[in-house]
Structure 1
Amino acid sequence: MDSSEEIALRGLLGEISNELGSLASQWERAAWATPRHRFLPDRLWVGETLTLCDREKSPDAWFQAAYANEPAVTQINDGKDPGDGERWPSSSASAPNIVFRMLDMLDVEPGAKILEIGTGTGWNAGLLTRVAGPGTVTSIELDPGLATEAEERLRREGASVHVVIGDGAKGYPERAPYDRLEATCSVRRVPRPWLAQVKPGGVILTPWDSPWICYGLLRLTVDDAGNASGPFSPHSAFMVMPDQRTNLGIYRDVVREDQQPEESATTISPWDVAGQDFEAQFAIGIQLRDVWRTWQKAPVEGVSSRLWVATTDATSWAAVDWDGKSQGRFTVWQYGPRRLWNEVEAAYGWWKLHDSPGPERFGLTVTPEGETVWLDSPDQHVFATG
C-alpha cells in the first residue's frame, strides 16, 4: 500500500470512528488488510445522475470515490445498457460507515461460520474472513458475473471465502448451520430458509425495506424452535432483494383514464408522511406493508405538488394535491377497493399517539407461519402477516 492509499484509508477510518463513536480494533485491522479500492471495479457510477467514472480516464476521481464514506455504485440497470433511459443502481459497495456498523452488530468471533447474502464486490466478505478466519465465510451472489469478479478479487487478496452463485433467499443449506447470517441487500420479508440454516442462538442481520421507504436494520436471534425475534435499529439504505422489488409506474401500471376517483380533503400534510421524517415513514411502512408512494411535481395546472400512494397489486391508489398556496388543507383523490389515504392517516395517527417511536422501539418476530411486528416488547403486537 503506497502513501496516498494509507492517507486515504486512515482518513476514512477516522471518519467512521467519529460517526460510530469507536471502531473495534478487530475491524480496523481487517480494513487495513482488505483495502476497499482493491475490491472495486474500474467503472463506477457517481452522483445523483449516476455518471460513469472510469478509473483509466479519471484515476483521481475514481480513487476519491473509492474512499468516500458513501456507497459506490458498481452496476446500473442489472448490467444492461440504459441508453438515454432512466438509470438506477442494481449493485453497489455499501457506504463504509454502514458496513462497519453492521459488522459490529453482527458480533463475530474467530471460528464463527457465516453466510453472507449478496457478495457484491467481495469487500464485506473479505472483512468478515479476516476476523472469523479462513474458510469460515460462505457468500452467495445471484449475478454470475459479479460472483466471478468478487471471487477473483478475494483470491488475489488472499481472503479464503467460499463464493457460490445462487438465490440468496434460499440461503445455502450445503454448509449450514451457520452462527451468523448477514444480508447486504434489503428485504421486505425474512426468507424462511434463513431461519432453518442458522443455529439456535445464532444471529440474522439484514437491512429492512418496505415499499414506502428503505430504512432500518433488523437483528434477529434464532431460538430452539426455529423461530427468530429481535429489534430494528435506524439507518441504512440498501437495494432490495430482486424478487422482492416493486417495479410499478403510476401512469404505466396503476392509473387509467376511465377511473373515477372520489374527492375529499385532508389537513395532514403529505410531507409529514413522505418528507424528511424517516421515523414517521418507517412507522407507516411497517404498518402498510403493501403500499408504496412517489412524488410528482406540477402534474396539472393548479397543482404544485402531488403525492401518489398505491398498493403493490395496483388495484387501489390515492393522490394528495397541494396547490402551492393553501395552508393546512390538501385535496385528496382516491380510487379502488381500499381508501389508501385514510389508511395512511390512520397509520400516521397511531405513530403520533404512541409518542412517535423510532425504529429502535420496533421489533419483528418471525415464525414459519408468518411475521409479527411489535413495539417495545414482543407481546405488544402492531401488525401480523402470513
Structure 2
Amino acid sequence: MTKQDEAAEQIAMRGLLGEVTADLGAPLARVWEEAFWAVPRHRFLPDRVWLGTDLYPCDRSTDPGGWLSAAYEDDSVVTQINDGNAPAVSESWASSSASAPSIVFRMLDMLDVKSGHKVLEVGTGTGWNAGLLAHRVGADNVATVEVDPVLAVQAALNLKRAGLEPEAICGDGAAGYLASAPYDRIIATCSVREVPRAWVEQTRPGGVILTPWETPWVCYGLVRLVVDAGGQASGWFHPHSAFMLMRNQRTDLRIFQDVVRDDHVPDESSTGLSPWAVTGNDFAAQFAIGLQTRDVWRSWHDDPAVDGVASRLWLATTDATSWAAVDWDGQSEDRFTVWQYGPRRLWNEVEAAHAWWHNVGRPGPERFGLTVRPDGTHAPWFDRPDQVVPRTG
C-alpha cells in the first residue's frame, strides 16, 4: 500500500467519523472510537459491492476511488445479491449488506456491552460488527453465526486478517449457538418478525437481546429486550433501521402468481382513507399498522393495465388465503375503490388499525414495547406491558 493510499483511507475514515457523530448527536464513546480506528470498515468489504437502488456494481480494481468512497459513506453497502447466485436479467436483489456505520454504532451503544461480557452476534455478514465487538470485549468472549456458507468463510478470513478471531460459526442464527451459552448480550444484524425462543433461552437473566424488527407490513425499528429469571423477555421498541429479514422468516409470495386466482370474485366497496396514508413516508403509522395486522403484507402496482386505474395497492395475508386491492383512478384524492376476497377483509383491518393509531395520538415506535413470554408467544404493548396492542385479524 502506498502512502497516498494510506492518506486517502485516513481522510475517508475521519470523514465517516464526523458523519457518524452528526447522526448520533454526540461523539462516539471512547471504547467504540478506538474500535472504529482499530477495525477499519474497508478491510471487511468484498472487492465488488453494489450501490443504490439499482444495485450498480462497483469494483475495487476498476474504480478504487469509488469503492473507497462507498466504504466510508454513512450508508449501507450491498455485499451480496441473489443469495450469491447469478441473477437473471432485471432480477437482482440484495441478500446481504454492510449496515450503515451510524446504525452499527447506535446499536452497539444500545447493547451496553461491558468488559467481560459474553456476546452472541447473529448475522456475521462481512465480519465488521463482530470485529468491533471482539475489539471491545476480547475475541474469546464473542461468537458470531452466519447462515450463508460463502459469507461465513469470507468473514472468518476478514477477521483473521484483522488479527481478531472470535468463534465464527456457519449455521442457522435462529437457533443461537448453544455451545457458548449463556450470553450476556445477543445482537442480530438481520431483522426478525418473531424473536427466536432460543435467543431468550440462551441469555442470562438480566441479559439483553437487541434486534432489528420487521412485520410483513414494514421493515422498520429495533427492539431491545431484557430477559428475566422466569424466561420472559420484555422491552421497548426504538425507531431507526431497516435490515434484511432473517432468511428462515422470509415470505416468498408473489401477488399475481401465488395469491390472486382467476376464479376469485372479490367484493367491491370504497374508502376515503388514502392508501398512501398507510404506506407512505409516515413510518410511525406503518409501524403501528404492522403491529396490529401482524400477518398482512402489501405491494404497489403502479401500472396495473386496468382501465380507470392509475395505481393499485395490493394486500394479502402471509398464508395467501385473503387479499385486497385499493385502486386510485389518478384523479380523486378522497375516494378509492376497494376489492376484497377471502375470509378476512384486509382493508377494513388496515382502516381499523390506522384509526386506533390516530385515536391514541399518532405515536411513534418508541411508545411501543414487546413481551416474549416463556411459551414463545409475542405480545406487543403500548406505553406499558398491560396495555396490549389490539390485533385486527
Provide TM-score, normalisation by structure 2. 0.96
CA–CA distance in 2 between the matches of 1:226 and 1:124? 27
SS at match of 1:348: helix
1:258 offset after TM fit, Å? 1.4
Cα distance in 2 for partners of 1:3, 1:63 equals 12
Q: Which runs of 5+ in 2 are unaligned?
A: none
The yes-or-no answer on 1:340 pairing with 2:353 is no
Which residue of structure 2 aligns with residue 308 of structure 1? 314
CA contact (8 A) 1:186 1:206 kept: yes
Map 1:185-204 → 2, pairs under 5 A: 185-204=190-209
Alpha-carbon offset, residue 301 of structure 1: 2.1
How many angstroms does 1:383 deviate by? 4.5
Partner of 2:302: 297
Percentage identity across paired residues of the two chains:
63
Q: 2:96 — aligned with what? A: 91
The equivalent of 1:6 in structure 2 is: 10
Q: After TM superposition, list the pairs within 5 Å mapping 1:127-138 onto structure 2.
A: 127-138=132-143
RMSD over equivalenced CA pairs, Å: 1.2
The one-letter code of the counterpart of 1:283 is: A
Q: Secondary structure at the match of 1:379?
A: strand
Question: Are the counterparts in 2 of residues 116 and 182 from structure 1 also a CA contact under 8 Å?
Answer: yes
Partner in structure 2 of residue 271 of structure 1: 276
The CA distance in 1 between the partners of 2:99 and 2:72, in whole Å, is 12
Correspondence 1:345-364 to 2 at 5 A: 345-364=351-370
- 2:288 aligned residue: 283
Instruction: Extract unaligned runs of 5+ from structure 1.
Output: none
Is residue 2:18 matched to residue 1:18?
no
Q: Distance in 2 between matches of 1:383 and 1:321?
A: 27
| 1:379 alignment counterpart | 386
The answer as to whether partners of 1:39 and 1:153 remain within 8 angstroms in 2 is yes
Would you say the 8 A contact 1:372–1:383 is kept in 2?
A: no
Are 2:41 and 1:48 equivalent residues in the alignment?
A: no
Distance between the aligned counterparts of 1:384 and 1:131, measured in 2? 41
Aligned to 1:106: 111
Look up the equivalent residue of 2:169 and give its one-letter code. V
1:365 paired residue number: 371
Residue 349 of structure 1 aligns to a residue in which SS?
Answer: helix
SS at match of 2:384: coil
- Contact 2:139-2:167 within 8 A present in 1 as well: no
- Structure 1 segment 117-132 matched on structure 2, within 5 A: 117-132=122-137
Alignment partner of 1:103: what SS? helix
* Counterpart among 208, 217, 241 of residue 222 in structure 2: 217
Q: Distance in 2 between matches of 1:249 and 1:166?
A: 28
The residue number in structure 2 matching 1:236 is: 241
Q: Partners of 1:83 and 1:248 in 2: how far apart?
A: 18
**Do the aligned residues in 2 keep the contact of 1:116 with 1:181 (CA within 8 Å)?**
yes
Counterpart residue identity of residue 281, structure 1: Q
Distance 1:107 1:113 in 2: 12
Provide the TM-score with structure 1 as the length reference. Answer: 0.98
Aligned residues: 385
Aligned match of 2:332 in 316, 326, 331? 326
Which deviations, in whole Å up to 9, do the C-alpha atoms of 1:18-44 show, x marking residues without a partner?
110112111111000000000000010
Partner of 1:147: 152
